[in-house]
Structure 1
Amino acid sequence: MSDSISVEVCYALKERQEVVRLKLPAGSTVQRAVDASGLLQKHPEIDLAKTNKLGVFAKLVKADTVLRDKDRVEIYRPLIADPKEVRRKRAEEGKVMKKGGGLAEA
């Protein structure tokens, strides 16, 4: 078994994606990979304690999760809109339109 692992740390912005490839000691955690990537310094808006979540290959994980070789750590931005709320509003608007949501003529 190797004493080091290769991982990627990714942070997607609206206009581009930052990807940092790292070699870390075997047994390294998600937090160690994020710290070593330098993304926290480059993007001060990242707040792992409050707003941003972490994942490995699109599965939410905790910062103390141990990584395996070739894992991709993802730092997620907070949602700007709740998808459930958007669908609910869209459904309400659709129901109004079907019932004749236009202006009634006098």
Structure 2
Amino acid sequence: MSALRVRVVLAWPHRFLERELVLDAGATVADAVRHAALGHDGEVAGYAVFGNAADASTPLRDGDRVELLRPLQADPKDARRRRAARQRGG
């Protein structure tokens, strides 16, 4: 059985954690997350592989980057409205 090299990344503003792993062929996102052990309990709202939405059962390929997605801090629509109001001077 061949091996896969993958990276698992968890990011915040101004910092990130990253682990490079070697997993067995056929590994999934869930396998990578479990082996990375980034201590992210409660901080993950979803997963992505190179920015494309994925779920725990998504199979990985050699060289993939698994991104642990955090919950949004603010609704993007509300943030856009606040920026527009500031630009208008209101």
Taking structure 2 as the reference length, the TM-score comes to 0.84
Alpha-carbon distance in structure 1 between the residues aligned to 2:84 and 2:12:
30
Could you give the per-residue CA deviations for residues 51-72 of structure 1, whole angstroms, max 9, x where no partner exists?
Answer: x110001111111000000000
**Counterpart of 1:45?**
42
Q: Is the aligned partner of 1:69 residue 2:71?
A: no
Q: Is the aligned partner of 1:81 residue 2:80?
A: no
Q: Is the aligned partner of 1:13 residue 2:12?
A: yes
Alpha-carbon distance in structure 2 between the residues aligned to 1:8 and 1:80:
25
Q: Deviating runs (4+, > 2 A) in structure 1?
A: 42-46, 88-95
**Counterpart of 1:104?**
none
The change in CA–CA distance for 1:91 and 1:14 in structure 2 (over 3 A counts) is: closer
Taking structure 1 as the reference length, the TM-score comes to 0.73
Gaps of 5+ in 1: 102-106
Alpha-carbon distance in structure 1 between the residues aligned to 2:12 and 2:80:
24
Root mean square deviation of aligned Cα: 2.0
Could you give the per-residue CA deviations for residues 39-85 of structure 1, whole angstroms, max 9, x where no partner exists?
Answer: 1xx23333x4xxx1100011111110000000000001111111212
- Please say which structure displays the higher CA radius of gyration: 1
The aligned length equals 90
The change in CA–CA distance for 1:67 and 1:83 in structure 2 (over 3 A counts) is: same
